[in-house]
Amino acid sequence: MLEFVRESTFKANDVISRALNILKKHYFSVAGLCFLLFLTNNLSTFLAGYLSDSAFGFVKLPLFALFVTLFFGLQLVLIKRAILLAQHIENTPFQNYIPTPKQFFNFLLGLILYSVLTGVVYLFCSVLALPLIYFGVQIETISYEINPLLTGFVMMLLLIRISFFPFFILVNNFNIFRAARLSIAFTKGNMINLLVLMLALASAYMLQLAFEYLGYSILAAISSVLNTFVIIPSVSVVLAIAYMDMIREYKGSDDPELFKNIL
C-alpha cells in the first residue's frame, strides 16, 4: 500500500509539473479566463445586491440568465482551452472554444444533478447517523458535525469519479449521462492517483483557510494570491493532462455500463 501511495504521489507530481510547464507558456490566456470568471461572479453578486433595493427589480431575471450563461460558458471555454493545450494545440479559431447549446445544456444539467445528489446523500447520511442517538450523541452534534462530515466525504469521492464529465461533453459531444458513465469508468482504479492530485491542488486553499482561522492575515493574503493566480489557473490544465493520460490507458467501452464501473 505504501508503495502504491508513493507511485500515486509521483504520478501526481508529474502531472502537476507538466501542467506548470504548459501554464508558463500560456499563462495569460488561462489566467485571463480565470480573471473573467472572477469578475463575472463578483459583478453578478454586486448587481444582485444593488437591484434588490432598486426600482429596476424587473431586470433581475434577465440579468440572472445572462450571468449564468456567461459564468458557465466561460468555464467551458476554459476547459476547452486546457484540453487543446494538453493536446499541444496552441492556436485554433476562436469559434472552436465556444460550446454549442447542447454542450452548455448538458453541462448545466450535470451541475443540477450533482446538487440533487448532494441532497439525497445528505438525507441518506442522516438516516445512517441517526442510531448514534442511542449511544448518547447529541442530535445537534449529529446534525451540525457528523452528518455534514459524512456527506462531504461521500460527495468528494463522487466528485472525483465524475469530475471529467465536462471533458467528454466538449470533446465527444456526449450527453450528460454517457459522459458521467465514461468519467466513472475512466476513474476506476485511479482513485488514489486522483485523490493525491486533488489534495495537492487543494493544499494552498486549505492553508488559506487555516491562516484565516488562526488570524494570520498576511499569510492568508499570500495564500489567497497564490490560489487566485497559480492554483486556480493550474487546475483546469492539470485535469486536462490527467484526462489525456487516462484516455491513453483506457481500454474499456466507449459506452460503459454504470454499475460495472462503480467499484
What nine digits make up the cell of 252? 474499456
Is residue 211 a part of any domain in this protein?
Answer: yes
Q: Please give the pLDDT value at position 124.
A: 92
Q: What is the mean pLDDT of residues 114-143?
A: 88
Q: What is the mean pLDDT of residues 251-255?
A: 78
- In Å, how far from its chain's centre is CA 185? 18
Q: What is the mean pLDDT of residues 163-178?
A: 92
More reliable by pLDDT, 220 or 242: 242
Is residue 208 a part of any domain in this protein?
Answer: yes
Q: What is the mean pLDDT of residues 52-64?
A: 66
Q: Are 213 and 202 in contact (CB under 8 A)?
A: no
Q: Are 103 and 169 in contact (CB under 8 A)?
A: yes
- The answer to whether residue 7 scores a pLDDT higher than 50 is no
Grid-cell match 494538453, residue found:
86
User: Rounded CA gap, 56 and 126, in Å?
Assistant: 42
Is residue 255 a part of any domain in this protein?
Answer: no
Is residue 259 a part of any domain in this protein?
Answer: no
When divided into structural domains, the chain yields a total of 1
Q: Please give the pLDDT value at position 3.
A: 44
Please report, for residues 111, 126, 160, 162, the alpha-carbon distance to residue 74 in angstroms, rounded to integers and kept in the order given: 15, 36, 22, 20
- The answer to whether residue 132 scores a pLDDT higher than 90 is no
Q: What percent of the chain has pLDDT over 70?
A: 89
Is residue 40 a part of any domain in this protein?
Answer: yes
Q: Are 240 and 79 in contact (CB under 8 A)?
A: yes
Is residue 258 a part of any domain in this protein?
Answer: no
Q: Are 168 and 178 in contact (CB under 8 A)?
A: yes
More reliable by pLDDT, 29 or 57: 29
Q: What is the mean pLDDT of residues 223-242?
A: 82
> How do residues 85-109 score in pLDDT, each as one tens digit?
998 888 888 888 899 999 999 999 9
Is residue 101 a part of any domain in this protein?
Answer: yes
Q: Which domain holds residue 235?
A: 2-249
Is residue 156 a part of any domain in this protein?
Answer: yes
User: Rounded CA gap, 71 and 25, in Å?
Assistant: 25
Q: What is the mean pLDDT of residues 64-72?
A: 85
Q: What is the mean pLDDT of the chain?
A: 82
Report how far apart the first and last C-alpha atoms of the chain are (Å, whole number).
18
